Amino acid sequence: MASITTFCFTFIIFFSLIPSTLSQKPKYMTFVVNATEHPPEDYFDYIVVGGGTAGCPLAATLSFNHRVLLLERGGVPHTNPNVMRQEGFIPTLRQVDDHYSPAEAFSSEEGVPNARGRILGGSSAINAGFYSRADDEFYNRSGINFDSSSIERSYQWIEKAIVFQPELEPWQSAIRDGLIESGVRPFNGFTLKHTIGTKIGGSTFNSSGHRHSAADLLNLAKENNIKVAVHATVERILFSSENVHATGVVFRDTAGRYHHAMLKKQGEVILAAGAIGSPQLLLLSGIGPRAYLSSWGIPVVDHSPFVGQFLYDNPRNGISFLTPSLLRHSLIQVVGITDSGAYLEASSSVRPFHSHVHSRRSHSSPTYFTVANIMEKIIGPLSAGSLRLASTEITRSPTVSFNYFSSPVDLERCVNGTRKIGEVLRTRAMAGFRFWNWHGAEFRFVGAHLPANQSSDEEMGAFCRQTVNTIWHYHGGCLVDRVVDSDLKVMGVGSLRVIDGSVFSISPGTNPQATVLMLGRHMGLKILRNRMQKKSV
Annotated binding site for FAD: 72-73, 234, 472-473, 501, 512-513
Amino acid at 252: R
> Residue 319 to residues 343, 437, 439: CA-CA distances in angstroms?
14, 21, 21
One DSSP character per residue, 109-132 reads TT--EEEEE-BTTGGGGTS--EE-
513-536 and 148-162 helices, crossing angle to 10°: 120
CB-CB contact of 87 with 209 (8 Å): yes
473 included as an active-site residue: yes
State the Cα–Cα distance between residues 293 and 296, nearest whole angstrom.
Answer: 5
256 phi/psi in degrees, rounded to 5 = 90, 5
For 438, what's the count of Cα atoms within 13 Å in the CB-facing half-sphere? 0
Of the residues 38, 66, 473, 522, only one is catalytic, namely 473
CA–CA gap between residue 246 and residue 394 (Å, rounded) = 19
Q: Where are the beta strands (DSSP E) in 22-100?
A: 32-34, 41-49, 68-71
Structure letter (DSSP) for residue 165: P
114, HSE (Cβ side, Cα atoms, 13 Å): 30
Q: How far apart are CA 272 and CA 497, in angstroms?
A: 9
DSSP H or E segment with residue 53? none
Task: State how far the Cα of 350 lies from the Cα of 41, in Å rounded to an integer.
Answer: 49
End-to-end CA distance of the chain: 74
CB-facing half-sphere around the CA of 92: CA atoms within 13 A: 26
Residues 6 or more apart whose Cβ sits within 8 Å of residue 480:
142, 143, 144, 486, 488, 503, 505
Residues with active-site annotation: 473
